[in-house]
Amino acid sequence: MSSDSPSDIIAGLRRASRRTTLAVPGSSVKMLAKATGLEADEVFLDLEDAVAGPAKIEARSQVVDALSAGGFRARQLAVRVNAWDTEYTVGDLTEVVSGLAARSEGARAEGGAGRQVPLDTVILPKVREAGEVAAVDLILRQLERTHGLIEGAIGLQPQIEDGMGLINVDAIATASPRVVSLVFGPGDFMASLGMRSLTVGAQPEGYEVGDAYHYPLTRILVSARAHGIQAIDGPYVKVRDVEGFEKAARHTAGLGYDGKWVLHPAQVDKGNEVFTPREDDIERAAEILAVYDKSTSVSGGARGAIMVGDEMVDEAGRKMALTVRDKAVAAGIWPGP
């Protein structure tokens, strides 16, 4: 169990690698079991759209069973609860956290700071305003106190899925210190705007110039970066079209997103590849940082602009190299400390 403070735990969750986030229906025992062996960076057990209404209550206990049993290769574990426009949100939060706490009785963090449960974050869908995030924060805080958990250690990932959510994205990003990422939900976003397409993420009929999703993707990314959190792209629903998935993933990876949701095991390896810095970029970033640090030191002449190969590098170039380094560190492949 961690002896870190809640703020340290949340900071770690904001740095964690989320190249791929695998969605798993919480009502499918078979798929829950299969998900344990997949190499996605994050797995979320879904209580929302992937679970039919009559199965939602029972799925809560199945999610608790799966998380309590452990064995996941994924480094991050999450649960997506139902949105506030349903009758399930409070029950989802209460039964999952309480169930996990009951399974882990007795183990305390060093210094008596409280226990942790095998749940890193809660994904909150269809967020339209900051108050919805703040409400989940308060419920989690009471549950943490009730069960002797580390208060404030469970992170939040709000999904932006309609125009109102996009308008309020900055307030949503800062509604709770628990927020570790913003997630774009393309399907509901398309429906809310009336886009002429029946395929999630596809360009709408008649829209022939540019990318219909560039504005929401960029707006979410700008807000995430302004507030020091991650930006995660939503799913590509043609699960057998690996080439199409790769194209969509490279699009948002190039824009600067940290990762993408995946719906099928075939998408996991390709997603991890796309959102991992390339070997030549890592080598180049390491070279830039080493040469720049030396050249800007007193012993190196205190030069602020230098040549690295055939390119001039200044402080802006150093920051770009740091971005590559941070992504490589999160993926566990940075060659230095």
Annotated binding site for Mg(2+): 161, 188
Q: What is the distance between the alpha carbons of residues 157 and 127, in angstroms, rounded to a whole number?
A: 10
Ordered DSSP codes for 44-112: EEESSTTS-GGGHHHHHHHHHHHHHH-----SEEEEEPPPTTSS-HHHHHHHHHHHHHHHTTT---GGG
Q: What is the distance between the alpha carbons of residues 77 and 74, in angstroms, rounded to a whole number?
A: 7
Among 289, 267, 286, CA closest to 278: 286
Annotated binding site: 80, 161, 188
176: number of CA atoms within 13 Å, CB side?
A: 31
Annotated binding site for substrate: 80, 161
Among 273, 267, 264, CA closest to 327: 273
The pair of structure tokens assigned to 220 is 């979410």
- 121: which DSSP letter? E
**Chain centre distance of CA 256:** 13
Q: What is the distance between the alpha carbons of residues 180 and 12, in angstroms, rounded to a whole number?
A: 9
